[in-house]
Structure 1
Amino acid sequence: MSRFYEIDPTPENYWRAIILFGRNTASYKFALAKALLELHGNGKSQVKLEELAVPYAKHLAQHIKQQPKQITSKRSSFLEQITAYNQGQLDHDGLIQQTTRLGFNNVIDAFHKVHGNDVGSRFFIDQRRSHGGIELTDNLNHLLEQLSAEDLAGEVEARWRLVEEAWANNLSRQLMLVEYEEHDQQLIGIHSQRRISLTSARPALNGYQKGRCFYCYREISILYGSDTPADVDHFFPHKLKRCDDGKPIDGVANLVLACTDCNRGAQGKFDQIPALPLLERLHTRNEYLISSHHPLRETLIAQTGASREKRQDYLQDAYNCATVFTGSWQKWQPRAEGVAVF
């Protein structure tokens, strides 16, 4: 089982375990997650399948327009109906009717399963037989009392984009590397010399950090315009490229989310080398992501090593190289500003 929710069994961590570690054979889980976040705002606990079908089908239709492959099997009668709607061959009422009939056959049963087992908190109860729908639980209420629905939806969207691009590029047989482009703050997939925009970097990185600064644990937000914005920070600074061109400075293994004080405040990190405990924290984060599914797992392995020992050696080598090259024998260490949640 994942340490993600063994250590801290809260609704927040169960939710993120579902999004990160739930079985990925179709994108229905992501569409249902986004639909649940939307429907919570309606103030109703009981939701008919016809009501659930509206946001659920909407999100699938939007994604199919961008990336037609939304399932690992060869075909899906349900997704064919979504495609027909996108092509103007099915009206909205017909879409909702077909979604109600075909769209929930598996996802409602499978949503709460991680590694084959049900997680400890359910965000809805299946009432299809008794009431023709689902009942939203207090766990969903507790989740959204603690976290922004927009932040959570952004994390779901980021994960969805990564997974669908992995399917589209047959990542079981071919590798896509994921790197960061700073000018537009996007994660870019590099596959067969093609560069594919995957997702905004902030929500893609936020699932592990749970809305906290990587360095000081202060609360941060991935929403633009927030009072506590999250910066995408390079753990090892760009100048390390001059030490070793082989180091993927813009790779996922070297990216974290930081509060503005830690990244660029008066006592911020800037181009300093973080202290050794923070390097250990980065290694733990990367190992956590490797236990997830494609494509971040494959990217991290390709960039840092095929075994835990090799990945640890890789980071130690980068740390030593950065220390010698920059002369930074005095390392940077922030003051803790929040609860250590990872």
Structure 2
Amino acid sequence: MNIKEYNKEDFWRAVILYGLNQATYKIALGESLIRFSEKGKNFISMNELAEDFFNMYLDRLKNGKPQLANPNRKTAMERIISLYNLNKLSKTQAIERVEREAFNDVIERFHTVDKVEIPLKFYEKTKEGLVILDNIYEVFSDAKNFELKQELKSRWDLLESAFEIKHGESELINDIRKFYLLKGYERTDITHNRSVLYGYQNGVCFYCAELMMEKDIHVDHVIPRQLIHNDEVWNLVLSHGYCNTSKSDYLPNKNYILKLIERNEYLIKSNHPISNKLKLQLGNTPKHRMSFVFKVYEDAQKVLAPWTGINGYNPVTDPFYKTFVRELIYNNT
């Protein structure tokens, strides 16, 4: 590409109008860059950027419209603003979480259009923040570029409207998400649960029933954390990295939920100290515990896209499943 054939406005328009927008972060970053450049700043700390994002989304989300194309997920900004509005985070805590969670992709990919990085940059990333380059001052120094600012706002409106079309039953979905968000908590280190879970899975993956190697054991939420926002062991299993990645934030089918319920019963029937905690969380009887898990599963079905499982997996021939079912039958006779 001969950069001299294009002016700087062309590159800005390419990023904003033709970049791949699966969420509204790129538009928000564009607004921040304009706002800071108009203040004459040539450096933005990550904390400053986080505060600007927080204030921007706090106002923007009053319209209740989705900020992500995938109807089965919420952006980090949506989750943080929801927690703030529910009084579960102070403003300072919310801004800290924005700085920690919201910029993973957008800063690295802002200058990418159709998977190709444009040759002209509007900022450079450092460990401390963003260095604002002269290019953005030149694009927005003239009053005639009011049109570019309006294009940015219009693009955000357009994305929200497009995302909203994909989000069926949005009111019900938002109510369900808010319910679990209110009950949830921040991520914890779940790797310490490996030792608790490993023995009860006989060293095989929960999703494919094949043996796991020590270097490839992941702790996974069966009902995705994207919805339930907690790390309780009743919903945790061990899996291969591939199986975990394949499942991602999709909701597994009923066979896996039944398997999870049986696994929990196996844990409860053991002498492990976790037994009492599971009873406290799920209920005192198998019937109550099954009802609890199925209620969460039914809510998840309204919000999350389904995952049929690993090709070739059959619960009937799953040695792990058969092992603990036999144990349950034996202990109940």
- What TM-score, normalized to structure 2? 0.46
Which structure is higher in helix share?
2
Greater RCO (CA < 8 Å, at least 6 residues apart): 2
Q: Report which of the two structures shows the higher radius of gyration computed on alpha carbons.
A: 2
- What TM-score, normalized to structure 1? 0.45
Which structure is higher in strand share?
1
